[in-house]
Structure 1
């Protein structure tokens, strides 16, 4: 693996989890500078990797690397908070893989949200799909649809409000708002 590939892998697979690792470290490590040192040491170790083929779960690998560095620093320190050492030793890193129930529930919820989006008015639906699902910028959407960025912003906000309003109504009413089969379009602003 060359340096460029490694850099791309770190940016794609490790960097998105940095905030989470920093938060966890702040809860377990006293000093802000220690957190910075630990994260920096993690990146230094990642930069020395010859291959990442052995890393199946980058998020867990980052967290375990940070944990090991923090443990090493705590053990080397002259004055160690006993609770920090016990807390960091007792940490069980949750599995990165969701349970089958969570996967099924997530798929059902995704299908439901997609159905709500599909029920939006055409232009509103297209803007929401392009913005939230395809990840296009407002400028790109405006150019593709031949409208202003302001229209794109308003349509995206309106569509999102309608979907969220529908979901909130269902949750308040125990999973359904009693409008199954009705058109979501009635909730237009």
Structure 2
């Protein structure tokens, strides 16, 4: 009987070897920076390692393009969040400028938040961020997004649930068991 792990590793290695340069060029054409393209290429191949059924790929470049587009969208979302934070920071007086450590912590928080909200529809992400970061009420969000208050409530609840479940998934199993175990 063949080892499925070895087959997966061989397929992933062949995919990387055969298509790495092509994917990096594809990403470079979209963002114009060779260093970012290299980083995003590596991020895409990290996602390849998390994929299932690599042995059944009929169109490897289509598969890689789909993964790369997801990585690219996450990159743009993070960059937009970071730019918004930098714009808000520019409005602050100079004596309130954050330290390099504070900047690194905020950037890490932005990336974590982006990861937690990944997979949610855009409107749900917007409603959640408007509610939690901009402290807008559901009625204010509904007006801003042009939807009903009930829709905003549903979207914010969905985002909270999504984040909660993502946090549970990230926790070690023992910690999850202690959180979910009934209290005496």
Task: Please confirm whether the aligned pair reaches a TM-score higher than 0.5, indicating the same fold.
Answer: no
The structure whose residues are more often helix, as a share, is 2
Larger Rg: 1
Q: TM-score range by the shorter chain?
A: 0.3 to 0.5
TM-score (norm 1): 0.36
TM-score (norm 2): 0.37
